[in-house]
Structure 1
Amino acid sequence: MKLSSKALVPVLVIAMMIGCSDDPSSSTEGDTNATASSTGGDLRFAIATDAVILDPHRFNDVATSLVLSNTYESLVMHDDDMEIVPRLAESFEQIDELTLEMVLRNDVTFHDGSSFDAYTVEANIERIQDPDIASPRAFMYDAISEVNVIEDDTIHIKTNEPYAPLLANLTSLSMISSDAIEKHENGELDLSVEIAGTGPFSLLNWEQGNEVRYEAYEEYWGSVANIDTLTFQVVPEEGTRLAMLENEEAHVVDNIEPTNMSRVEAMPNAEVSVSNGLRTEYIGFNVQKEPFNDPLVRKALAHAIDANTITEGIYEGYGVRATAPISEHVFGYSNQLTNYPYDVDLAKQLLEEAGFPDGFETTILTNDAHPMRIQIAEVIQSQLEDVGVRAQIHSMEWGAYLDATANGEQEIYMLGWTTSNADADFGLFPMYHSDSFGYTGNRSFYSNDEVDALLEEAKVEMDEEKRLELYEEAMEIIMIEAPKVFTVQEQLRIGVSDKVNHFSLQHPSGRLLFNEVTISSEATY
C-alpha cells in the first residue's frame, strides 16, 4: 500500500531510557480501513535478530529491548509528548534535591502471581546495582544511595548528590518479581531464559534463534491484550521477512532496508510505518590499537569517509546526516560542533603527517544483523582505498560481534546507539566515559579526563541551560578527537499488514506495544 507518514513527528527534548514508552504516535491504515476486527489470534512479528538474553537488567541492545517490551514494565514512562508520566508508579514527587518519592499502584501483580509493592522496587534497584549481576546499565543508578520503604505503596529513592537524569533513567528500570529474583539467586529459576514481569504478555517459550512466544496475561492491571498470543519469529533474511508479510505469514516485519520500501508500498495487503528515531549510526575506531591511537589517523579517516553518500545512497533519504554523537531529538544535542567534511586530499595529508604516506592495512568488523551495515562497510572500504588504506571486511554473527567489540578485538567497527531516554547522559556517558569500556557501551575504548569530568558534572547539574553547555563542551572535545565517525540519524521502518488494527509505531525509542492490537477477521494467518 502506501507509506504512512503520520509517524514522522519530530521529538523535542525531555527524557527516556531504552524503549520504555506507551505513547502511540502513529497508527497504520489498518486502524481506519479495516472492515472487521476480532479479539484473539496469534500476532506474528518477523524480526531480524533474536534477543540476547531475557534478563531485563543484563542487556543493552535494541533487539532484546523489542522482544522484552511487552512483558516487563518500568515505574515511569513517556507519554505522547515525551513527558515523563507514571506507569507502575501512581505518582512521583521530588520532595527535596536528594529524595524522589514514588507512590505505587496497588493493583499490579507479576506473571508468577506475586504482588508489586515498594519492597519490589527496593529489590530491583539493589539487584541492578549488584556488581555480581554486572548490568551494563548499573552506572545509571550509581547515584542512588538509599532506597527507603515508607509504606507498602510508597518508597523514597535517595541520591548522594543532586542527580539530573534520575527520573529519565528510571524509565528503563524494568521491574522483576522479587520472588523470582530470590529464586534466581537460589538457583531455582534462571532469569536469563525465564520471565517474571508485569506486562500484558507472559512468556510461553523461547526457542533461541527461532522464536519467542507470549500469551496474553489475563491479570494485567491495564488493558488486557485482545490477541491470544504474540510471537516474535527470528528471520534474519530480509527478503524472507518481506515475503512472509506479502504472503500473509507474518503481520509485522522490522528493519526494512530503504531499497525495499517501494516493495512494501506496492503490496496490496500492507504498508510501511516510519518514525524519526533516537538512534545514531557510527563508524568506530578502537583507539587503543595502532594506528588508531593517533588522533591524526582518526581525523584523516573521518575526512576520507563521505557520510552523505551513505545517507543519500544507502539510506535513500530515510535518515539524516549525523553531525553529533547524539540525535537532534535528544536533550543536549548541539548543531555547533566541529565536523569533518569529505576531503580526500586533506585525508592523505593527515595520513602523511601521521607517518603513513602509503596508507596501511586494517579490518572493518561488522555484523550480519543489519545488512545495510555490510553495504556501508563496502562503501567505506572503497573510500578508504582512495587514501591508501586497504581494509578487509569481516562480518560476524550478532552475539559474537557484541562480545568481540566489547573485548576490544576490533580495529574499525560499525554500530549505532539509541539514546532512548532522550537525555544526553545516556547518549554520552556509556559511550565516552572511561568507566564505560566494553559491554556498557564504550567500544572505542576512548578516554579523556576532561570529557569524564564534564559528563560527571552534567549529571549533578540541575539547571538545564548549564547542562546543555556542559554537554556541548564534552561533545566538541569528542568531535575533535574523532573516536567515531557519525553517519546517519536513523529512522524506524516497519512493515505492517493491513489486517492489523490499532497498531502504533511508538515514539522514537522504537518501542512497540501490542495489547491494544486486534487482527481483522479476514486474516488468514
Structure 2
Amino acid sequence: MPTPRHRLPACVLTVVLLSSACTSPLSPGGNTADATAPLVLSTVDEPATLHPLAGFGRSGAAKFYDGLLTPDARLDLVPALAAELPEPDEDGRAWTVRLRDDVTFHDGSDFDAADVVATYRALLDPAVGSPLAAEYSVIDTVTAVDETTVRFELARPYAPFAALLTLGILPSEPLAESRTVDDSPLAEEPNGTGPYRLTEWTRGEEMVWTAAEDHWRGTPEVEQVRVVFAADAAEQAEFLASGEPDGVVLPPGDPHGLRDPARTPAAEDYDLLRHDSVEYRAVSLPADGPVTGDRSVRMALNLAVDREALVEDVLNGLGAPASTPASPALAELREPGAEFIVDRQQAGRLLNTGGWTPGADGVRERDGEVARFTVVYDELRDLDGRLAEAFAADAAEVGIEVETRALSEADLAEQAAEHAAVISGGRQLDADLQFYEALHSTAPADPSGNPGRYDNPKVDSVLDDAREVTDPARRTVYYWEAQRAYLDDPGLVYLAFLDHAYLQRAGWAGYQAVLEPAEHGLTWGPWWNLHRWTPN
C-alpha cells in the first residue's frame, strides 16, 4: 500500500513554476519576528566546502558570494555584479560584461575586472582542480578590457552562456597562490561580496552568518543567521521539539515524519513549505556491461520500475516520477509523451525477444550469462539506499537480479563506471545544464555526469544543436527530440524528481517560492533571498 501523505493543518505553500513570483509573508497576521535576534536554521547536511570553485552556490543564492548574474524568483537572470545584462557578439563567440563600480569584498578590498578574470582563469586551471572545469571548458579566454569591463571569448557559440555567470566571484589576491580548491583557505573562510559574512563555523555543530553592513544592495534586515547541524533525523527532531529553530531543512522524503504533527507535535508551530526541484535520482547502467549494456535489458528495466509507487512509498509523496532529465516542473521543456509507464508484461516480452529466458530460480539467462548486476550508492545517503532497494525489487519482478551495495563517496567515484549506480543532479537555470552532462557521450564519466558512458548519436546531435540556437522555441524543439531519442534507447533508469520540503516559523515577509536545483538549504530553499526578508 502506498504510504499516506500527511499534510500540515497549517498553511502549506507549494512552488508552481512561474506562478509564485509574488512576495508573500509567512502566515500573515501571525507571529512577528525580531530582526536583531539570530534566525536559527536546522539541517542534517553540512557543506563540505564553501569554495565557489568547488561548486558551492554555483547556481546563485550563495549568501557569501555574488555572481555576475543572479536568478530572480522566475529564474530569469538579472544583473548582480554585472552592471547590466550582457549580450553576445553577432557570431555568439564573445560576451562582454560591464561591471558595477561600487562593490567591495568582505575584507574591504575593491571589486573590479581583475577579480572576475582571476576567478574564471583559476576555475579553468588544472592545477586548481575545480570539479566544475569541464562545464566551463567552452571559455577560451577571459580578459579585462578595463577596470569595469570583462570580455569572454568562447571556443564556439554557446547560447546558454549567461547561465554560467552565476558563479561566485573571488578576490584575485588569494587566487594568485594557485592552491587547489581542497587546500585553499577559501573552503572554510569565504571572502566574497555577498549579503552575509561567515563569522563562525564549528564543524559538526554550527555556523553563524552576519549581515554585511556595506553590501551594495544595502544591509540585510535579518542581521544574523545561526545554522545548527544535526547528526541525524532523530537529533533534528529533538532540536525541533525544543522550539529553538525558526526554519528546518527536512531530509529527502522526510522518512521520519518531521512535517507530520501526529508524529512530531512541534510541527504544529510551523508552516510547511514544499518546493518543486529539478533534483533527480537515477540508476546509471554501464554501456559496456554484459547485462546492463544490452538494449532489451535497459528497456525492460525502465518498464519494470513503478515510479508512482516509488514516489509514494520511498519519498512519502515528496516528489514526482522521472523518465528523462526533464522535470515536470519545467512544463514547456518536458515532451508530453516522453515517459515510461510501468508494464512488466511488455518488459518480459522484450527480454524473451532479446534471448533472456527465465532459469530454474526465476532469474533470466542468455548464453550462460545470468541477468545479474550490482547497484552501488553513497553510504551516507539513506534515500539512495532505499531507492536502490526499491529498484532491485522491481527488477526482480521481471527476472533480473540486482544486488545493492553501499560505498563511501570516494569508492563510489571509483566504481560508478564499473557498476550501475544511484546518481543525482539537477540544474534549473538552463536545459543544457540539466541534459548535457547526464546524456551526452562526452560528459564526464563520474557520478555527477555520465558514469555509464551512455552514447546515443541522435541524442548527442540534438543536444549539440540546442547549444547553438538562441530562440527559446527552437531550443525546446531540440530538447523534445532528445527526450524522444532517449526513450527509444535509454541508457539509464530515471526514478524520481525530489520535492524539497522545509518547516518555517511565521513572522517574516519576503518569502518567495522558487524552483530549486539539487543544491539547496544553505543556498536555495526558502532562504534563497533572505537578504530581502523583513519582520512582519
TM (norm. structure 2) is 0.83
**Residue of structure 2 equivalent to 1:17:** none
Pair 1:427-2:434 in alignment: yes
Alignment partner, residue 471 of structure 1: 479
Q: CA deviation at 1:84?
A: 1.6
Report how far residue 479 of structure 1 moved: 2.4
Report the equivalent of 2:80.
Answer: 87
- Among 30, 34, 40, which residue is 1:33 paired with? 30
2-structure distance, mates of 1:145, 1:374:
41
| 1:185-230 CA-partner distances (Å, limit 9, x unpaired) | 4999533333121112222344444434333323222232334433
Q: Which residue of 1 aligns with 2:282?
A: 282
The residue type equivalent to 1:378 in the other structure is E
State the alpha-carbon separation in 1 of the partners of residues 226 and 59 from structure 2: 12
2:17·2:514 contact (CA, 8 Å) conserved in 1?
Answer: no
CA contact (8 A) 1:299 1:482 kept: yes
Question: In the alignment, what sits opposite 1:418?
Answer: 426
Contact 2:24 2:512 (C-alpha < 8 Å) held by counterparts: yes
State the match for 1:314 in structure 2.
Answer: 314
Deviations 1:453-500 (A, max 9, x none): 332222112233332232222232222222222222322211112366
1:147 — aligned with what?
Answer: 142
- Structure 2: distance between partners of 1:56 and 1:159: 21
Q: In 1, are the aligned partners of 2:17 and 2:74 still within 8 Å (CA)? A: no
Contact 1:275/1:505, CA 8 A, preserved across alignment? yes
> Is 1:192 the equivalent of 2:199?
no
- What's 1:224 paired with? 219
**1:501 Cα deviation after fit:** 5.7
The answer to whether the aligner puts 1:181 opposite 2:181 as a matched pair is no
Q: Is this contact kept in 1: 2:338–2:483, CA < 8 A?
A: no
Q: How many pairs are equivalent?
A: 501
User: Greater shift after overlay, 346-355 or 428-437?
Assistant: 346-355
Deviations 1:292-330 (A, max 9, x none): 121221112112211111123333443332243221344
Q: 2:382 aligns with which of 371, 379, 382?
A: 371
Gap change, CA 1:402 and 1:487, over 3 Å in 2: farther
Name the CA shift for 1:240/1:454 in 2 (closer, same or farther; >3 Å): same
Aligned partners of 2:47, 2:60: CA distance in 1, in Å?
6
Offset of 1:87 from its aligned partner?
0.9
How far did residue 272 of structure 1 move?
Answer: 0.8
> 1:74 is aligned with what amino acid?
G
- Indicate the residue corresponding to 1:404 in structure 2: 412
Deviation, structure 1 residue 167: 0.9
Contact residue 277 and residue 491 of structure 1 kept, 8 A: yes
Aligned equivalent of 1:244, options 230, 233, 239 = 239
Measured in 2, the distance between the counterparts of 1:128 and 1:337 equals 39
8 Å contact 1:337–1:475 — kept in the other structure? Answer: no
The whole-number CA distance in structure 2 between the counterparts of 1:394 and 1:25 is 45
Q: Tell me the SS of whatever aligns to 1:199.
A: coil
- 1:114 aligned partner, one-letter code: S
1:200/1:368 CA distance change after superposition, 3 Å: farther
2:102 maps to which residue?
A: 107
Residue pair 2:428, 2:515 contacting (<8 A) in 1 also: no
> How many Å separate the matches in 1 of 2:452 and 2:155?
30
Amino acid at match of 1:427: Q
Match of 1:390 among 378, 387, 401: 401
In 2: Cα distance, 1:441 partner to 1:95 partner: 28
- Counterpart residue identity of residue 326, structure 1: A
Mapped pair 1:127 → 2:97: no
Aligned Cα root-mean-square deviation (Å): 3.2
TM-score, with length taken from structure 1: 0.84
Aligned pairs for 1:26-105 (under 5 A) are: 27=24, 29=26, 32-35=29-32, 37-59=33-55, 69-94=62-87, 96-97=89-90, 98=92, 99-105=94-100
For residues 232 and 478 of structure 1, do their structure 2 counterparts lie closer, same or farther at Cα, with a shift above 3 Å needed?
Answer: farther
Mark the CA change 1:245 to 1:147 in structure 2 (over 3 Å): closer, same or farther. same
| Contact 2:424–2:447 (Cα < 8 Å) also in 1 | no
In structure 2, the residue matched to 1:514 is 530
Instruction: Out of 363-372 and 173-182, give the one that drifted further.
Output: 363-372
Alpha-carbon distance in 2 for matches of 1:9, 1:117: 38
Kindly state the Cα deviation for residue 502 of structure 1 after the two structures are TM-superposed: 4.3
Is this contact kept in 1: 2:58–2:168, CA < 8 A? Answer: no
Partner of 2:5: none
The 8 Å contact of residues 31 and 503 in structure 1, kept in 2 or not, is answered as: no
